[in-house]
Amino acid sequence: MTREGIRIHEAADFDGMRKAGEVTARILDEIADHIFVGQTTGEIDRIIEEKVTEYGTTSATIGYKGYKHASCISVNHVVCHGIPGDKKLKDGDILNIDVTVILDGWFGDSSRMYAAGNLPRKAERLIEVTHDSLMRGIEAVKPGNTFGDIGHAIQTYVEAQRMSVVRDFCGHGLGRVFHAPPNVLHYGRPGTGPVLEEGMFFTIEPMVNVGRPETKVLADDWTAVTRDKSLSAQFEHSIGVTADGCEVFTLSPGGLFHPTYKQG
Ligand code: MF3
Ligand code: CO
Ligand code: CO
C-alpha cells in the first residue's frame, strides 16, 4: 500500500529495518577506534567494508550509480558524498561517516560525526547543533504531523544558532529500496507536505553549515562542498513512523551516536 506515492509498511517490516539498522549502527560504533590523526579515509573505508562482510550484509553504496566505496567520508568543508582516499586526517579535522548496508533486502542508512585530535570550539558547536537539529526533527515525527513540520523544526533551531541548513540535499524514503519518495527536506513550513502515517520509513539527515548554505559538486561528480569553504556537519538516522511517534532503527548500541570530543 502507498499514500501519495509513499509506501506504508507492515509490522513485520519493522523487524527487517531494525536488523539492518542495528548492523549499520554497530559498524559506526566500531569504527570510532580507528579515527585518529594520521589515519587515511581510505583505510577507514577498508575497515568498514570488512565489517559489512563480517556481519553478513551487503554494502548499498558499492556499485550505486558507479560509486565504488562502502562509505562516504566527508571532512571539514565537505558537505556529503566525500570519497575515501589516501589523504591523512589532521589534528582538529571533523568528519562525517555515512554507511548503508542491506540485510535480508532491507536498507539501514546512518551517518555521524567523528573528530581527529582536539577540536576547535566552533567545530564542536557545529556538531552539537547539527546533532540536536536531527533530534528535534525526529521529535516532530508522529502520525498526523507533516514532513513540513520536520523541516521546520530543524530549520528554526539551526537558524536560531546562526548557522545554515543545506537545501541541495535531503533525506529520503527507504525500506527495500535505498532511495524512495518522499524527499525529506530539512527546512520548511509547518503543516505543509505529505501527512505522516504509521508504517512510513525514511531518513532524516540534516547537513548544517557554519557559513552560507550553498554547495557545489567537485569535478569527481560526487564530493559536495560548501561554496564559502565553511565547515559542515551531518547526522543521519533511519526511522519508521509508529502509532504514537517513531522508532529509530539506527540507534547506537554503545550509546556513541553523539560522541564526546577532546577540546583544543
Ligand atoms: N548514504 C547516502 C544517503 O544518506 C547516500 C550515499 S550514495 C553514495 O542517502 F553513492 F554516495 F554512496
Ligand atoms: Co540517506
Ligand atoms: Co546515508
Instruction: Output the average pLDDT for the chain.
Output: 97
| Rounded-to-integer distance, Cα 32 and Cα 257, Å | 10
* 259: confidence class by pLDDT, cuts 50, 70, 90: confident
From atom 4 of ligand 1, which residue's Cα is the shortest distance away? 109
The SS3 call for residue 135 is: helix
- Could you give the angle at which helices 11-30 and 41-54 cross, rounded to 10 degrees? 140
Specify the pLDDT at position 196: 98
Residues in CB range of 66: below 8 A, 6 or more apart = none
| Rounded-to-integer distance, Cα 4 and Cα 133, Å | 26
Cα(109) to centroid(ligand 3), Å:
5
Residues within 6 Å of ligand 1 by CB = 61, 64-65, 67, 72, 81, 98, 100, 109, 203, 205, 222, 236
Specify the pLDDT at position 91: 97
Q: Above 90 in pLDDT, residue 263?
A: no
| Rounded-to-integer distance, Cα 115 and Cα 260, Å | 9
Specify the pLDDT at position 191: 98
Specify the pLDDT at position 65: 98
pTM as predicted: 0.98
Which residues define the annotated binding site for substrate?
A: 81, 179
Specify the pLDDT at position 250: 98
pLDDT of 151-174, one tens digit each? 999 999 999 999 999 999 999 999
pLDDT of 169-197, one tens digit each? 999 999 999 999 999 999 999 999 999 99
Specify the pLDDT at position 88: 98
Specify the pLDDT at position 262: 77
Domain ranges of the chain: 2-262
Specify the pLDDT at position 225: 99
pLDDT of 46-71, one tens digit each? 999 999 999 999 999 999 999 999 99
Q: Which amino acid is at 176?
A: R
pLDDT of 194-250, one tens digit each? 999 999 999 999 999 999 999 999 999 999 999 999 999 999 999 999 999 999 999
From atom 11 of ligand 1, which residue's Cα is the shortest distance away? 81
| Rounded-to-integer distance, Cα 103 and Cα 111, Å | 17
The C-alpha cell that represents 174 in the structure block: 527507504
Instruction: Specify the CATH number of the domain 2-262.
Output: 3.90.230.10
Q: Above 90 in pLDDT, residue 72?
A: yes
pLDDT of 22-33, one tens digit each? 999 999 999 999
Q: What are phi and psi of 78, to 5 degrees?
A: -75, 125
Specify the pLDDT at position 260: 79
pLDDT of 85-105, one tens digit each? 999 999 999 999 999 999 999
